[in-house]
Structure 1
Amino acid sequence: MLCVHPVELIMLTTTVSSRLRSVCRLQRIQGHMMSSQVEPGVLLEKVGSAGVITINRPKVLNALNLPMIRQIYPQLKKWENDNETDIVIVRGAGGKAFCAGGDIRAVTEAGKVGDPLAEDFFREEYILNNAIGTCRKPYIALIEGITMGGGVGLSVHGRFRVATEKTLFAMPETAIGLFPDVGGGHFLPRLRGKLGLFLALTGFRLKGRDVQRAGVATHFVESKKIPELEKELVEMKSPSAADVSRVLDSYQSQHCENMNLCLSFPPFRLFSSSSVEGIVQNLKADGSEFANKQAETLSRMSPTSLKITYKQLKAGATMSLQDVLVMEYRLSQACMRGCDFYEGVRAVLVDKDQNPKWKPSTLEEVSEQAVEQCFSSLGDKDLTF
């Protein structure tokens, strides 16, 4: 009979457990890289005079991964330079989501072990975001269903964004120790008043018609009319941006509904402050139901993420999209080096206990120096276009 000392047994068990975790982590990263080989994660078709991009991972709410980015980018550039392609349409498969975000769990696993995916994903995603923002052809995003994170990057920088009553828009990154990236620092501060800062810090969800009222979508069309709209768009002959705009205007529902969210609502002024701490003080001093709810929401977010996000939007308000994306790439890599991102993903997406242990745990403990360092140049690793 083989005898094993208890200490040796513990060490053996620990080693096996560690190796199993490493294998599982590698499998997740490889799955991220190879998923498109099993079933196309994105469909790229030429229909009439339109290039049509269909995000095709409905089982995971069309989450965006690196192989999909690497398919979309070259095809978008090809269509942009093709005289026989007049417009580009992007949509999501399955009806539940346009794109609910990036494949964050795979990026998390990569970041833990220093896998290049943690750099490559953000770098190539942001390059695609910029290509959408600079596309010379009319780019039309049909943002039906959940549109968050990476899905926002695939849509909001394009010329036209069409929401339906099924659209649910949010940038909830501060809840997982990240920040509203994919150019969030460019489009959010350009929304009216302090709405963009409110959405960025709290992760508040806009629904249906409010997505257009906020300025995130350019048009609102009833879901049942989308197939007919798509058909008319692809059948257009040599359309200009003005032609596309007229078609979208003709489909836009004029039916007036009671607003679920009044976007000029006075409490948004509470987000006017020179610091996140000041915003929290404003909310607590106001004492309204709205203010108390937002203060409670902010108390659950990563303090570091809140301060990074505040500075990101303040700086991004006067920067070009390219410069914002360079800044955000620096921030993404700072988050990969930190601990809140991994803890946030664990609490929200993995263990789902919704109880992250942030470090530091309070706004007051997050120094200006620590925040400033997140914005520092990466030298020859900076994002370039």
Structure 2
Amino acid sequence: MAEPEVLFEVRGTLGVITLNRPRAVNALTAYMAAGMLETLTAWARDPAVSQVLVRGAGERGLCAGGDIVAIHRDIASGGTQTAGFWATEYRLNSLINAYPKPYIAYMDGLVLGGGVGISAHGSHRLVTTRTRSGMPETTIGFVPDVGGTYLLSRAPGQSGTHAALTGEHLGAAEVLYLGLADNLIDFNRAEELFSALEETPVDDLLPGYILPAPASQLESWRPWLDAAYGHDEVEEIVAALVVLADDGNEEARISVQTLAKKSPTALKLTLASLRRARELATLEEALEQEYRVGLRALESSDFPEGIRAQVIDKDYAPAWNPATLAEVDSELVEASFASLGSRELKLNPRALRDAATTTGGRT
């Protein structure tokens, strides 16, 4: 018998969720998202559960994102299952954000894409020196989702724009600076902390485990990041980075090279998504916007091509269509944000809060 993809147990008064696909770095499936949504809803009402811990099996990470191999297969047959998966996943993200009890996310190792969605919306977000996190969607011809556009559009200055467009994997210092996590802890003491959480509130324990936050490169780069990424057109951002690179800014030069490898359409959609998300009042509005853009991406050629190049054939040579920023149709970008009509994702965080019997979660 194959082991379940996600494990649920109550230890003392601690509800423990363990993503259990270690060979796939716990990549999130529709089954896992549905199980988490159902169990977290039940635990929110259960007085025997006082707080929740989410962790990943194995040593490689919490979650490397959604199962994009399954998405690639589904796109070939119409993409209907992926649309349902995202609807459930985004409801899960909304529930985590509104959760009425402490939600402790152990963000050790890889925490990418969908892994950010099940961690960065929680009330207690813990990284380690092994953390490598980020939203690498432009690499596969997609756009940051699971609330990533909401979070990164609110990062200091234009640091979130840089992170979203380049899709870089970031260490603990950068994750903390971007606002995707709260505290750094020693992974060697994690099991000790988890055992203590079975009987003791996280806020009573955590001060004894927190390490000093390391200095962030993104913070030191803030002046040139703000200057280059403050533009509202990707071409203008690239041009500003080129000028900086010509003046000797090595990091700007690397950024130019990185952006040149990404899907031009995905870059334009990502920047537009971030700018729009910055003006939205709630996470749920951003998730609904991401759902619109995501369903349009299922109909594109770049999304399946990006997955093919990155994880199917692994030739890392996607044939983007169109191949340049100048060729991207601005009307197509605008149309990606249009209403889905009867397919609109409608999230109701108030209903999630009202279903609970205690308070204390993230707002």
Checking the alignment, whether the CA contact within 8 Å between 1:303 and 1:360 is kept in structure 2 is yes
Between the aligned residues of both structures, percent identity stands at 39
Cα distance in 1 for residues equivalent to 2:146 and 2:79 = 21
Cα displacement string for residues 204-257 of structure 1 (whole angstroms, at most 9, x for unaligned residues): 121134322332210000111111111222211xx4xxxx33422221113x75
SS in 1 for 2:219: coil
Q: CA deviation at 1:379?
A: 0.7
Which one of 177, 190, 201 corresponds to residue 213 of structure 1?
177
Per the alignment, residue 206 of structure 2 pairs with 248
Cα displacement string for residues 269-325 of structure 1 (whole angstroms, at most 9, x for unaligned residues): 221112111100100011111111101100110011001100111111122111111
Query: Which segments of structure 1 move beyond 3 Å, counting only runs of 4 or more?
Result: none
TM-score when normalising by structure 1: 0.86
Cα distance in 2 for residues equivalent to 1:313 and 1:250 = 37
Cα distance in 2 for residues equivalent to 1:76 and 1:300 = 39
- Which structure: larger Rg? 1
Q: Does 1:49 align with 2:49?
A: no
Q: How does 1:69-84 map to 2 (within 5 A)?
A: 69-84=33-48
SS in 2 for 1:206: coil
Cα distance in 1 for residues equivalent to 2:64 and 2:291 = 20
Q: How does 1:79-118 map to 2 (within 5 A)?
A: 79-118=43-82
Cα distance in 1 for residues equivalent to 2:208 and 2:153 = 29
Give the residue type in structure 1 aligned to 2:279: T
SS in 2 for 1:348: helix
Per the alignment, residue 100 of structure 2 pairs with 136
Q: How does 1:24-63 map to 2 (within 5 A)?
A: 38-63=2-27
Per the alignment, residue 295 of structure 1 pairs with 256
TM-score when normalising by structure 2: 0.91
SS in 1 for 2:211: coil
SS in 2 for 1:141: strand
SS in 1 for 2:189: helix
Cα distance in 2 for residues equivalent to 1:333 and 1:214 = 27
Give the residue type in structure 1 aligned to 2:20: N
Checking the alignment, whether the CA contact within 8 Å between 1:214 and 1:263 is kept in structure 2 is no
* RCO comparison, higher one (Cα < 8 Å, 6+): 2
SS in 2 for 1:311: helix
Q: CA deviation at 1:261?
A: 2.2
The runs of 5 or more residues in structure 1 that have no matched partner are: 1-36
Per the alignment, residue 279 of structure 1 pairs with 237
SS in 1 for 2:153: helix
Checking the alignment, whether the CA contact within 8 Å between 1:163 and 1:209 is kept in structure 2 is no
Give the residue type in structure 1 aligned to 2:335: Q
Cα distance in 2 for residues equivalent to 1:129 and 1:372 = 25
Q: How many aligned residue pairs are there?
A: 341
Cα distance in 1 for residues equivalent to 2:211 and 2:96 = 26
Give the residue type in structure 1 aligned to 2:66: G
Q: CA deviation at 1:260?
A: 6.4
SS in 2 for 1:44: strand
